Structure 1
Amino acid sequence: MTPAARIQAAIDLLSEIEATPRPADALVSQFFRNRRYIGAKDRQGVAGLVYSVLRHRGRLGWWLDRCNVMPTPRALLLAEAVLVQGRRADSVSGLFNGAKFGPEPLNDSERRLLKAVDTHTIDHPKQPEALALEVPEWAEAPLRAAFGDRFHAEMAAMLGEAPLDLRANPLKAAREQVQAALAEAGVTAAPTGLSPLGLRVQGRAPVSALPAFREGLFEIQDEGSQLVALLADPRPGMQVVDFCAGAGGKTLAIAAMMDNKGRVVASDVLEGRLTRAKERFRRAGLHNIETRALSSERDPWVKRHKGKFDRVVVDAPCSGTGTWRRNPDSRWRPLGPGLAELLPLQAAILDSAARLVRPGGRLVYATCSLLPEENERQVEAFLANHPAFRLLPVAEAWPENLGAAPVTGDTLRLTPARHDTDGFFAAVMVREEAAEATEAATSDAAGTEPPPAADV
């Protein structure tokens, strides 16, 4: 493709993203699947342009507003070429000449835009701090409350790209074997500092095209997500539920730690995601996973299986503020419920899922959010309403056979600035056997069985 053709493809892709209420990464993949004639280097070039716009969307919008120009895909790419790439206006305008497969010539408004931004950079002293850090208005106050004087450093760390992390599948290969297989394929990867199963790839190698991936030797999974699965400490023979399994990343890690022994139930309200996850389970060689589509967090299946599981993992739907490096479009175009709707939903999911935990079992609550309202405050409220549960510190929850925990504290809290992972939160809670016995005795004495607050 010519440089002009790449720009036109980026315009088309940005137009689809703006018009379609789906995550950008899914739309990018679909865009290239429908255009297999676009080669690997051109796909990388087009995607790079689009993601640069998405990563700088707040500041680009500020410049366009300053220049009184509508934020069309064409205008955004024009501004990105000058303000981010540092190109001169005349070299950019030369690509908009109506040549075959290229973009149409500039209109008057676009020419004025190029003239106005020529020689400038994306940052400007008049930009508000939050906007300069690409923080949307709805998230600014809670993030400032969460980080205090570390707000700027933490948000600045969110502006770059997320690293590419892999998790070795212990059923098929040790981490060192995966690393060697990658090296043989020309891919450089180093062991992750926190996860004992992780590898961090240098650059953006297309690892999903490698034989080692197709054979199930590894999965693509952020290091922080790997730690959440490890904190569940699932063991062979256990009964485990991944209550909000989604695409199955944590389900895969949990089932592999169980050495294909026992039972893992991957449940979710989105049945299509569970169906797609089955291919990942097959590739990994996992046979101890079953899927269960739920109508809601209050599905009758939950009540029927009350107290049956050793481990219940709740990776709750959340604002996704911890994944902004990976999903930059989610800063400015949230596609799901807003924070006001998410908070009661998270509480309801946690409340219902807790019913599944047997005495002595663990309940793991996790989000990919940096907001205390979705994290610590949810756990505090749950524990206040469920005296049968207690918080298990990270060091105690960490699997004994893996040595000392890589992080400490009552809960797991990872951020890009401090750990170079996605932002993650996790809390491990144990249902006390003594508390269960007390509740049962009280119920027997009363001659009735008062349902817990979570039951319906």
Structure 2
Amino acid sequence: MGNPNSFLSGNAFNSNTSLGLSAQANTPAQKRALSYANTIKPLFDEIQSSKMPADRILANYFREHKKHGSKDRKVIRESLFSLFRWWGWFRQLGEQEPSAAFFANLSACALLEAHAWQDIASAWHELSQSTVDYQQAQLLSVETLNDKLALMRQLFPTTEFKPQDLLPDWFWQICPIDAVQQTPFIAAMSSRPPIWGRAQGITSQDAVTQLQALGIEASDSHYFSDAINLGNKSMNLNDIDLYKNGKIEIQDLASQVIGQICAPEANAHWWDTCSGAGGKTLQLRSLMLARAAAPHSAGSHTRSAGSIVSSDIRSNALEELTKRAQRAQFDGISIARWKSDALPVPADHFDGVLVDAPCSCTGTWRRNPDMRWLDSIEAVTDKAILQLDILSRSSKAVKQGGLLVYATCSLSPIENEEVVKAFLEQHSEFQLMPVRHPFTGEQTEMLTIWPFEANSDGMFVAKMQRRI
């Protein structure tokens, strides 16, 4: 797994410093385990104290410490994210000797998620000085959430754990969930989702065949004709020709629901009001081109007369969008940056307007388990005024008979249904349009995608039409 001594370069990661973990490591495995722990602990502490996203902190660390091999990076990365994924249980353990507690947490993570480095995990267990039989614990199943709960109770028999502890207390206040759905929801939120992609300008079957030839565990989806499941293993996208040539884009399946609900006509004109780096802009354009090409041979790039204007307040995000559109060889996409409260586009002009509003991102907590512990309830309650304002201003660009789609990656009604209801009360010229849930087939007025329904992130979408 690489050179463990490389972990000790730099005082901040040296076990002799105040940030280091104290333990007597006697065996080679224990020394290695101690080195890993003394890398992971300062990262974990820095994320909690700075409240910066874990992926950003970790990327900065790896950029500054290039001696780590790929296996070392995997141990560090997956152990770090596991700590946050199960932190709701670990924080119940109360007062313990800090070093022993951290070793015990790392060891428990490796068991809960069946990590491959069981020799290191066993050494962490030894360093924690736990009296629990580790080999016996390894024999326990961890297939279900109840299995994992039983494992935790065996590892820490004096502590009471509940599934609800895996999400912060305030989350349950702002996101009421039916009791029947709680267990599958918590189980989903405590697992790693697959990487989802989307084929564009190529069939998903052709894309899957090419990806499988590269050793990537790719499969297509029966939900959408262009969706691709890329498995759970991390990959370097820049090594994949399909990605470099714009034939696939990374986009979670729940996010893909938004474009499918928009269902843009081949020659329609749409405005993506909060486009960011352009994932949904590219999806909308891909759907337009696919619809235009439908009568012709598969994979052909028939031009459509449709267009998309993409807007954001961040110029760097729009620059990234432009690069991605060029990589995909997509025409019909233009940029109009928000520079003030005034519309950056003409009023009463568009066949469709997509408002993918800034939100708390609670629906993406599966991919970012640290954020559930870094954020507070204000991350949800502070957004609704801004969301309603953006939706109201953006609605002015919809022409009569046109569509207005509101979406967030939040799971809270405060940011979702309540914003839409407030908007409709103030704008009687708009009416809700029923939508079909793509995973259950259910007809509904406003749609929440739950992470357990199709192994995806969480998402919300409502579709409205301006009356003629």
TM superposition score category, shorter chain reference: 0.7 to 0.9
SS in 2 for 1:187: coil
8 Å CA contact retained: 1:222, 1:421:
yes
- Offset, 1:128: 6.1
Q: Distance in 2 between matches of 1:28 and 1:227?
A: 30
Candidates 291, 308, 315, aligned match of 1:264: 308
- Match of 1:180? 209
Q: Distance in 2 between matches of 1:421 and 1:183?
A: 21
Deviations 1:325-367, CA, capped at 9 Å, x for gaps: 1110110102996222112111111111111111111111111
Output aligned runs, 1:199-210, within 5 Å: 199-206=228-235, 208=237, 209-210=239-240
The residue type paired with residue 193 of structure 1 is H
**Structure 1, unaligned runs of 5 or more:** 96-112, 399-403, 434-456
- Match of 1:365? 406
Are 1:318 and 2:359 matched, yes or no? yes
Candidates 442, 456, 464, aligned match of 1:421: 456
Q: Distance in 2 between matches of 1:268 and 1:336?
A: 26
- Match of 2:104? 79
Output aligned runs, 1:383-398, within 5 Å: 383-395=424-436
Q: Distance in 1 between matches of 2:384 and 2:163?
A: 23
- Shift of the 383–75 alpha-carbon distance from structure 1 to 2, 3 Å rule, reads farther
8 Å CA contact retained: 1:82, 1:118:
no
Count of residue pairs brought into register by the alignment:
398
Q: TM-score, normalised by structure 1?
A: 0.78
8 Å CA contact retained: 2:351, 2:403:
yes
- Match of 1:105? none
Q: Distance in 1 between matches of 2:52 and 2:376?
A: 7
Q: Distance in 1 between matches of 2:378 and 2:330?
A: 33
Deviations 1:178-204, CA, capped at 9 Å, x for gaps: 011101111122212322211112331
Q: Percent identity?
A: 30
Moved more, 187-196 or 343-352: 187-196
Candidates 147, 150, 161, aligned match of 2:181: 150
- Offset, 1:292: 2.8
8 Å CA contact retained: 1:52, 1:80:
no
Output aligned runs, 1:197-346, within 5 Å: 197-206=226-235, 208=237, 209-259=239-289, 261=304, 262-295=306-339, 299-302=341-344, 305-334=346-375, 338-346=379-387
The residue type paired with residue 307 of structure 2 is R
- Offset, 1:28: 2.6
- Match of 1:432? 467
Q: Distance in 2 between matches of 1:217 and 1:39?
A: 30
- Offset, 1:286: 1.9
Q: Distance in 1 between matches of 2:174 and 2:164?
A: 15
The residue type paired with residue 272 of structure 1 is N
8 Å CA contact retained: 1:60, 1:79:
no
- Offset, 1:17: 2.6
8 Å CA contact retained: 1:271, 1:293:
yes
The residue type paired with residue 91 of structure 1 is A
- Match of 1:408? 443
- Match of 1:438? none
SS in 2 for 1:332: helix
- Shift of the 14–309 alpha-carbon distance from structure 1 to 2, 3 Å rule, reads same
Q: Distance in 2 between matches of 1:174 and 1:194?
A: 14
The residue type paired with residue 92 of structure 2 is W
Q: Distance in 2 between matches of 1:373 and 1:129?
A: 26
Deviations 1:50-80, CA, capped at 9 Å, x for gaps: 11111112222222x34274xxxx6774232
- Match of 2:75? 45
8 Å CA contact retained: 2:193, 2:232:
no
Q: Distance in 2 between matches of 1:384 and 1:179?
A: 46
The residue type paired with residue 85 of structure 1 is A
SS in 1 for 2:396: helix
- Match of 2:173? 141
